[in-house]
Structure formats: C-alpha cells, structure tokens
Structure 1
Amino acid sequence: MSKSLQLLSLISKSLIIIQLAICCLQCISATKIISSNSSNSDDIDKNFDDKPKLFVNTDNCGLKKPTAAIDGYIIGGSEATAGQFPWQVSLQKRQSGLWLHTCGAVVLNKRWLLTAAHCINGLSEQSLRALVGTHLLNVKPPGTTGQAAVYRISKIIKHQDFSADNMANNLALIRLTAAINLDNSDGLINSVCLPNTGDKFTQYVTLSGWGLTTVSGSGGQQQQQQQPVTSNKLMFVSDVPIVSLPKCRSIYGMNWIREGMLCAGAPKGQQSPKGFCQGDNGGPLIQTDPNGRAILVGISSFNARCASPDGTPDVFVEISNYRQWIDKNAV
C-alpha cells in the first residue's frame, strides 16, 4: 500500500473515532438531562427502597369530628364525645384474667403508637393491648360505637436513655401486630400530627385521658388513691396554659425539669384545679393549629399532685425534642 493510501486510511479511522466520541458525549449529556428532570420510577436510585424511611404525617392527621363538650371532669375538665379525640388510645394490661386500663397512648399512624416509657417499663408485648376508636372504656369491641377495635402488640421500643428515677426521656413507641383501619373508621380513629424538630409552643393546650376524676387525701399523687373515682368516659381539659421551663424549674428543681420536658398548668388562683392523674399518663397533650389540626405537643409524664390547688404544673415529654428519635425508630 502506498504512503498516501496509508495516510488516508489513518485519517478515516481518526474521523470515525472522533465521531464515536462525540456521540458518547451527547448520550452522556442526554442521560444527565433525563436523570435530573424525569420523575419516572425507573430513574430513581435502585437502592432507595432499602434506605430508612422517615416518619411522615398522614394527609388527614390531627383532624376530628365536630363535637360539643359536656360538663364533667378529668380532674376539672369535660366529657369527650365520640370522635372528638380520635387519636386517643387506651393501653390495657392483663391482670387476673381481665384487661384493665393502665395508661394512655396516641396513634401516630396505622402501625405505631406513642406513650410514656414508665407505662410499659418491665412489661412484655404479650401482657398489653391497645383499644382504639372509642371514648368509652366499657365498650366490647367491635361494640356499638362501630369502629372500636383491640390491637395486640408486636414490639415495644423504650427510649434508650429513659430513667425511672427522674423520668428523663420518658417516651416509648409501640408497634401493633396489625394495621389500624384509618380509612374506614367514620372519623372515630385518626392519627395525630407530629411537630417539627425544635418547634416551641406557647399559650394554651388540651389534655385528655381516662384517669382518676376525683381524689381524696392531702398527700402527693401516690397518697391520693383512697376511694379513687375513675372514668369510663374519656375526659379532657382545655385552656391549660404552658409554663416556661425556668418557672417550672423554680418549682420542681433543676434535677427534675430537664431539656425535653414541658410543663403546663394554671398558677394558683387563676383557674380551678385541673390536670392529669393516675391513668392519664402516656396520653396526649395537643394544640390545634390555624388549620384545625391537632399537633402533639407532649405526652403526660409526671406531676407532684393530681390537679394541684397550689398551682404546681404537670410535666410532659416535649415531643418536638424527640422528633428525630421517632423518625429513626417508627419505621
């Protein structure tokens, strides 16, 4: 082959290589454009389903049926009507062959509940059950309320830093063996909305539960169990003012009131005594946002005395301080 023909062949091969390179660059550019703009599932990272999913509030969270309050007491509160607090749960413990209400809890989504860690401390999944969809404890599921249902428990996750000595990190998640039917409950069962991490709440909040409605004696909470009067009907107290952390610490002391706690209760003389008592622990403290949705501000934790007449506030777990813990574990 002549040198001129060899040169032409070399030039031709070089042009082919350059054209192939240009095509590859165009393909890569087009792929990048498709990947950045397409919403098709084929373009999503194949490992996406294997990554932990963060807890997400449901579209209908925090919504309830329109209701009218009836006079009554939680201590110092009112009687709830059906569907007024559809996220409210009765956590029940088996004793002598009977299922008895022991604490409150709240519906987070179809599978998960939230309560206070001291409510489940030392108890097994088999010794507990959850009653949802009713404001009456004596209903026999499915019962006449239509949607009352009992769920067994498959898993309990207690906060790893919970202390029974000072009630620090007093929070626990409960996973149910079966999914709650939120879509066909006629408004009697719904999840509550969670706040964002770091959200701070002021003004007034609402507390609900099936705890004692009256107490006797003048001692602390543990001494007020003589002739207790419990409630078969769900009760609530509203317009409970939030107490600042410094003010609450000045009452309880620094060793008791820590970050992640929230206090609520009326100062002495401003309102008649009202608040939570035995059986209300683990239940929700909510505040309604401008859109009418209930936001879970706190979980009932402890107090010095039920409905203290001297203005000593009740203490709650501050949920916004534990949002990341919930996100990580309720999956």
Structure 2
Amino acid sequence: MWSITLLFIAFASLAASARFHDVDHVENVRALAEPHQGRIVSGWDARLGQFPHQASLRIIDRSFRTLGCGASVIHEQWVLTAAHCTANYREITVRAGLIRTDAVEYAEATWEWHNYPTYNSENPGAVQSNDVALIKLTTPVTFTPNLQPVKIQSSVDAFRNYGEQKLVASGWGRTWTDAPTTPVILQWTYLRGVEDSECARLFGARIVNSNTICARWYNITTQSVCQGDSGGPLVEYDSEGVPTLVGVTSFVAGSKSGGCHSGHPGGFVRPGPFHSWFQETTGIDFQRGNDSTPEPTPEPTPEPTAPSTPPPTPQPTTEPTAAPTTEPTVAPTTEPTSPPTTEPTPKPEPEPEDDDDDDEMSQLLKKLQVKVRVEVNMKKYKKVDGKVKEVEEIKYLPIE
C-alpha cells in the first residue's frame, strides 16, 4: 500500500511538471549579417522619437561571437537590461537615440556592468527571478527629442497586479520563433497584462514569482516579444502619454511549447523591487525622478546699491547695538565727538513778487508777522547703562 501511494505521488508530481510550458530567454543567439524587414511578432515599425528610451546592445562574448539585446535608458550614464544579456561577456556597445541600428545618435563601448548580486552569472541559460543588470556608460548621453530616460516603476507599484492592463513592448528581436534574421527598424506591439496566478499556472512557481510580470497578445494572438528582445522595455502609458518602465524583457515560451507566436505570455522582470540596489550601485534615487538635468540655479539677489553718504564706522564686536525702529545706522566703536549732521529740508525759494502788487496788500502783510518753525530731526549717540545708543532729538529752527 505504501509503495503504491509513493508511486502515485511521484507520478502525480511528474504529471504536474509536464503541464508547465517550457521557457526560453529572448536574447539573440547570433546577430546575423543579413537584416530582415519585419515585426517584433505581429507588431509595427516605430517612428523616430516614439520610444526615445529604447537602447540596443551589441555584445561580444568570450568566444568573440556577437549577440544582441535591448535595454532602457534610465539616466545619462546608466541603462537597464536583463542580467542574462551581460553575464560573462567581454564587451558591450550601447546604441541609443535610434530606430535603425545603422543610424544612431549615441554609440559607445563599455566594460562596466553590474548584475544583481543574487543572479547566478555562471548559469545564464536558466531563467532566474532577479534577471536585471545595470550598464554604466563610458560617456554620458546627451538628451535629445530622440533620446530620453524613462521613468522606472516605483516601489509602491512594485507588486501591482497588471492583469488586463494595456502595455507596450519594443525591440529589434526576431519576428518569428527561431527566425533566421532580425529587423533593422525598431518594432513595437501592444500586449495585455496577465494575472500573476494565471502566469504561474502556465509556467510554474519556479519561473514565475513576485518579481515577474507576464503579458500576452493584445488583439492579435501572435503578438509577442521574441529572441533578441531580451533586456528591452515593457512600458505602461499614463493618461498624458508618459511611459513608465514596468518590465524588463526576460523569457518567452520555448519552441516545444509553440515559441514566440504561440499565444502564451512572455515574462518580464519588474524593476520596482530593485530600487535599493539601483541606488546602492549608482548613487541615484530613481524614485525621485529620472531627470538628470540639474535643478536650475536660483537667481542671485542683486547687490544693494552703495549709499551716497560715507559708510558708518563698523559695529563693535562686543556688545551689539539694539536695533532702532527706524532705518539703522551702525553704532561706532567709540562715542562720537559730535552728532552726525542732518540738513534740514531746504527753505523754498520765494517766487518774485509782482511789480503790480496791490499797495494795500503789501501794507497788510507788513502788519502780519508770521513766525514759522521748522522741525529738524537730529540724531545723537549717548551712553545709557554702559551701552552706546542712538537717540533722537527734535529741534525747532525758527524762520523769521
């Protein structure tokens, strides 16, 4: 009885394993010399500037073979791709600001890249959940309308369910499973998000975990990413048409399960769970925005105009003078010998009298003697409680 049960369990385990679809990475096995005008799989040619974050990777492996992958520009010095695109390779040339691989705005070789620490670079052929890598550019890119960084999925949305959401994938990958050639013009297609549970049911929990987002065809059953699209972007557009990177292309159904055009979902790695590592590696907090343009320098405050009168004696370093209620004059270090002079308002010049003035009016004015007093605001400095203070005196100057 025990042997029968064990045999049944073993058989059930094998049967369950057989129900999962096999998977394959979607990197280019070999970049071929003869290009083919086609589609990602049932996609369309991209317009210049439509996907300014898209980058192309030309990879030289240890046997000096040329491979191809995609990537996303996330900063003027960094691009994000899949770790299986960079594992154990010799050199990577990053090309950006393009839709054609033979006409680019930026192309530089680099030898610095960082795979996620738990990714097993010795086994890049196996689908792994932490399939992300950062590539540092030797020369920073110059942003143009055709070359822009993409916003990265936030940690808040890191584990969001994208089931039934309209998404967009792009790349220069093959246009059919195991097709002999790849397109020259960047291809793109709509995809629809798949519930995490459904994707795990198709591929198994070993392949699909919380870091995975799956997406399949949108309105044509063959729409998919394919070999050569690895590392490229899966984006979601907001209501204003701004894209957010929600996935890094990682795997598709293997040839035994129908391949790229089978209608099965493709697998992408969510970037949201990796923000701590992004910041640790690059020193950049991508959650505060990807714009690497420095913040505008604030306009300097204009220097005050120098007064026309000579500057006052500097303030003493010991006991500062209490702030006056009027515009302050800095107290001198010693008591001044005489108060600063303040000129009274100039006496207005009388207008010349008319020769035709009435004699009676003149006589009347002589009889009336009007005395006018002019207020003059004088400032003095006195010692009060051992401190030099400014005081005001009002003097009246008579005008005869």
Common fold: TM-score over 0.5: yes
2:99 to 117, 131, 135: 135
Report the equivalent of 1:114: 80
SS in 2 for 1:191: coil
Q: How does 1:212-291 map to 2 (within 5 A)?
A: 212-215=174-177, 224-225=178-179, 228-238=180-190, 240-266=191-217, 271-291=220-240
Deviations 1:226-262 (A, max 9, x none): xx23100000001x11111110010001111112111
2:130 to 169, 176, 186: 169
CA distance in 1, matches of 2:69, 2:161: 24
2:249 to 300, 323, 326: 300
Residues 1:74 and 1:323: Cα distance change in structure 2 (over 3 Å): same
Mark the structure with the bigger radius of gyration.
Answer: 2
Give % identity. 28
Amino acid at match of 2:152: L
Q: How does 1:12-161 map to 2 (within 5 A)?
A: 73-94=39-60, 100=66, 102-124=68-90, 127-139=91-103, 148-161=105-118
Gaps of 5+ in 1: 1-70, 142-147, 216-223
Identify the range of structure 1 (166-175 vs 98-107) with the bigger mean alpha-carbon deviation.
98-107
Residues 1:201 and 1:291: Cα distance change in structure 2 (over 3 Å): farther
Amino acid at match of 1:176: L
Aligned length: 235
Instruction: Determine which structure has greater relative contact order: mean sequence separation of CA pairs < 8 Å that are 6+ residues apart, divided by chain length.
Output: 1
Is contact 1:195-1:323 (8 Å) kept?
A: no
Amino acid at match of 2:95: L
Amino acid at match of 2:150: V
SS in 2 for 1:322: helix
CA distance in 2, matches of 1:320, 1:97: 34
CA distance in 2, matches of 1:210, 1:72: 9
Report the equivalent of 1:221: none
Report the equivalent of 1:206: 168
SS in 2 for 1:249: helix
SS in 1 for 2:88: coil
The answer to whether residue 270 in structure 2 is matched with residue 312 in structure 1 is no
Gaps of 5+ in 2: 1-36, 284-400
Residues 1:191 and 1:159: Cα distance change in structure 2 (over 3 Å): same
Q: Tell me which stretches of 4 or more aligned residues in structure 1 moved more than 6 Å.
A: 95-99
Report the equivalent of 2:361: none
TM, length-normalised to structure 1: 0.66
TM, length-normalised to structure 2: 0.55
**What's the C-alpha RMSD, in Å, of the aligned pairs?**
2.3
Report the equivalent of 2:329: none
CA distance in 1, matches of 2:53, 2:41: 20
CA distance in 2, matches of 1:250, 1:278: 23
